[in-house]
Chains A and B, each alone.
Chain A
Amino acid sequence: MTQTDTRDRILFVLAAVCAVLLSFNFYKIFLILPDEANQGAIYRIVYVHVPSIFTGFTGFFVALAASAAYLITGKLTYDAFAAAVTEVSLAFATIVLATGMIWGRIIWGIWWAWDARLTTMLVCWLIYAGYLMLRRAIDEPTQRARLSAVVSIFGCVDILIVWKSIEWWRTQHPAPVLSVRDGGGMGPGMEAPIYWNWLAFMCLAAILVMVRTRQEERSREIDSLRRMAHSY
């Protein structure tokens, strides 16, 4: 079995697990769980909003590890992987901002508030969008890899601020509600689908990262073929 066959099989398995989990979760979210007493139906956005930020932040930390691995070893494979993971994580971070704004429009009556959680999250999004723009702006592979690794490591500092912001400052954003953060603010059975959706989103993110990493490898192949053509 070739490496491509193995990769395709893994993609297929991940897609199947993701489809099964999402089908079961959405069935439970829409048809089993009742509306929340104060918020009504809109609270269900939490089942996309929170798993998306968990997936995004997990990805950014994986990118941090890959970036550190690049700085230590100098292998461009780590850099390609970090770029792929960051791009996919940024897509999930975009979902977080969009779903949060839609939820806020109903619950707060406004689309956006410049409070600590929302602002630090926007800064986080801008840092990683800047990371991807930086990569497009630099042609030389090792310089691009080194600078983007530094941005990736710097960006993770903001993630910690985003995570702790609702404890450090009084914010418009709700205080912790999940029991893992001593919140305990959700009804029985309402919290578990958040974690199951996180697992489903992680499978989806893994699929996207594998596809994106393969594209990075092909880009490097094109670069080496070009160098070969110019050397003749």
Chain B
Amino acid sequence: MIDARNFMYMFYGFAAAFVILVIYVVSLALRERKLSSEIDRVRRMVEREK
């Protein structure tokens, strides 16, 4: 029983590290998408203003 709990918490440790990295990578991807649309919008605005 103690060994099973020990093993399970080891899994939680590795899973926690993986989840934190995945959350960060997803946040980077979302920011990338937001920046791309923003840069397109501002470029169009500059073209209109010229």
Give the interface of A toward B (CB within 8 A): 39-42, 44-45, 48-49, 52, 88, 91, 94-95, 98-99, 102-103, 105-106, 204, 208, 211-212, 215, 218-219, 221-222, 225-226, 228-229, 232
Contact of A215 among B25, B28, B49 (CB under 8 A): B28
CB distance from A18 to the nearest CB of B (A): 11
Contact (A212, B13) CB under 8 Å given A221-B39, A222-B35:
no
Give the interface of B toward A (CB within 8 A): 2-3, 5-7, 9-10, 12-14, 16-17, 20-21, 24-25, 28, 31-32, 35, 38-39, 42-43, 45-46, 49-50
Cβ of A105 and Cβ of B9 under 8 Å apart? yes
| Cα-based distance from A106 to B11 in the complex (angstroms) | 12
B7 contacts across to A, CB distance below 8 A: 40-42
| Cα-based distance from A99 to B12 in the complex (angstroms) | 8
Cβ of A211 and Cβ of B28 under 8 Å apart? yes
For the A-B complex with A52-B17, A219-B35, A225-B46 known, give 15 more contacts whose Cβ atoms are closer than 8 Å: A40-B3, A42-B6, A42-B13, A44-B10, A44-B13, A48-B13, A91-B24, A98-B16, A106-B5, A218-B39, A222-B42, A225-B39, A225-B42, A229-B45, A232-B46
